[in-house]
Amino acid sequence: MQGMVSVKNLTKTFVSKEETVKALNNVTLTTPNNRILTLLGPSGCGKTTLLRCIAGLESPDSGEISIGDEIVWSKTHGISLPPERRGIGMVFQSYAIWPHMTVFGNVAYPLQIRKTPKQEIEERVKKILDLVQLSGFENRLATKLSGGQQQRVALARALVAEPKVILFDEPLSNLDAKLRESTRQELRSFLTELAISAIYVTHDQVEALTISDEIAIMRGGVIVERGTPQDIYLRSNNPFVVDFIGRANFLEATVKGYQDENHAIVSCALGDIVCSAPSDLAPGTGVTIYTRPESFEVAPSSSSPMENEFEGTVTDLLFAGEAHEAEISVGGARILAKLKFHIPLKKGDKVRLHIDREWCRALAPGEEA
């Protein structure tokens, strides 16, 4: 309850000279307590606007926002708490480290405002700087630190006053690729260790998958799907989500029948294959199935053919370090498969591939990407 953020029917429209944009279109969302929820979506989907509305940095047009037990914004009740009274912490994309203050000054600031005794401020700042591994940097000017260190100052500042919930606005997007990866892991372990409620905004799907307990995917001001990273990546039924998260091969298919309640036999360019599917499709229905490139394997040559095996021709091959990315032509379709790098392959080779029925999913008809 403590760090639960609940958003009801939130709407926000931006009006500029050129156009009117519905940044949030009747969004309703309740975040889990002491967990990390990520708002993920392409730029312009409304994720940052939603975060800023929760922080109080932006005013919605209508709806209601509560943090913990307290309503912080409500059109109908005429409530609008300013950001400083919402009891939150925030890490900004630019870090927003105050350039005229030292590391200590930056981190102590939220406590100074709360009139915490000096002795206690020093103890708590020291503790939190230990946690983010910045001990000894107290008296440095914060802007003289490296990007990763500044990022940790911003995190320490957001954590120090023990807010009900921490908001992250694309906090890793200014770091270089390598640093981003390690910081991601650090951040994940901090947050889970401290069992803190966090809302995390990003457009980077890998970041979202690795850091979150739950992901809400946004598009055009609407939350289109919500679930655990595994749910979202492996078991989504929304073509937009499938396409946005990772890479996918989409294939047209026709339902032939059911093997059991959750698995249908469909006919497609790969031949007749078994895939997981909604349980109520009539035979003859046209559906779209999708597969992830990394779920294909080269079939062992000796054994007899397994379920979901098919033969194709390598039409293009990229060596991407940890794997081959092969374009394979099969039954008039082209699919992308990510194959283990130690298997020798070259253009024009015939190759037998296999895919597990669980990693091959039929989308309910009618859902347009």
Question: Contacts from 30-34 at CB under 8 Å and sequence distance 24+?
Answer: 30/4, 30/5, 30/6, 31/3, 31/4, 31/5, 31/6, 31/165, 31/197, 31/199, 32/4, 32/197, 32/213, 32/214, 33/1, 33/2, 33/3, 33/4, 33/197, 34/2, 34/3, 34/195, 34/196, 34/197
Among the residues of 225-273, which ranges form H helices?
Answer: 229-234, 239-244
Rounded to whole angstroms, the Cα distance separating 152 from 39 reads 21
56 near another protein, rule: CB under 8 A: yes
84 near another protein, rule: CB under 8 A: yes
By CB atoms closer than 10 A (0-12, 13-18, 19+), residue 83 is middle
From 57, 79, 81, 323, residue interacting with another protein (rule: CB under 8 A)? 57
48 near another protein, rule: CB under 8 A: yes
From 12, 47, 52, 152, residue interacting with another protein (rule: CB under 8 A)? 52
83 near another protein, rule: CB under 8 A: yes
Nearer to another protein, 113 or 306 (CB): 113
114 near another protein, rule: CB under 8 A: yes
Q: What's the distance, Cα to Cα, between the start and end of the chain in Å?
A: 36
Per DSSP, the three-state class of 21 is: strand
Nearer to another protein, 85 or 256 (CB): 85
92 near another protein, rule: CB under 8 A: yes
Nearer to another protein, 157 or 324 (CB): 157
Rounded to whole angstroms, the Cα distance separating 72 from 222 reads 21
From 100, 178, 342, 350, residue interacting with another protein (rule: CB under 8 A)? 100
- Which is nearest to 279 in space by CA: 294, 263, 268, 302? 263
The answer to whether 67 and 164 are in contact (CB under 8 A) is yes
196 near another protein, rule: CB under 8 A: no
11 near another protein, rule: CB under 8 A: no
93 near another protein, rule: CB under 8 A: yes
Nearer to another protein, 27 or 159 (CB): 159
Nearer to another protein, 90 or 336 (CB): 90
From 110, 221, 229, 312, residue interacting with another protein (rule: CB under 8 A)? 110
The answer to whether 152 and 132 are in contact (CB under 8 A) is yes
Rounded to whole angstroms, the Cα distance separating 73 from 54 reads 8
From 35, 80, 102, 109, residue interacting with another protein (rule: CB under 8 A)? 109
The answer to whether 334 and 325 are in contact (CB under 8 A) is no
13 near another protein, rule: CB under 8 A: no
From 89, 221, 229, 293, residue interacting with another protein (rule: CB under 8 A)? 89
Judged by CB under 8 A, the number of residues near another protein is 35
229 near another protein, rule: CB under 8 A: no
164 near another protein, rule: CB under 8 A: no
Closest approach, Cβ 214 to another protein, in A, equals 23
Catalog residues that contact another protein under the rule CB under 8 A: 48, 52, 55-57, 82-90, 92-100, 109-110, 113-114, 143, 154, 157, 161, 167, 170, 173-174
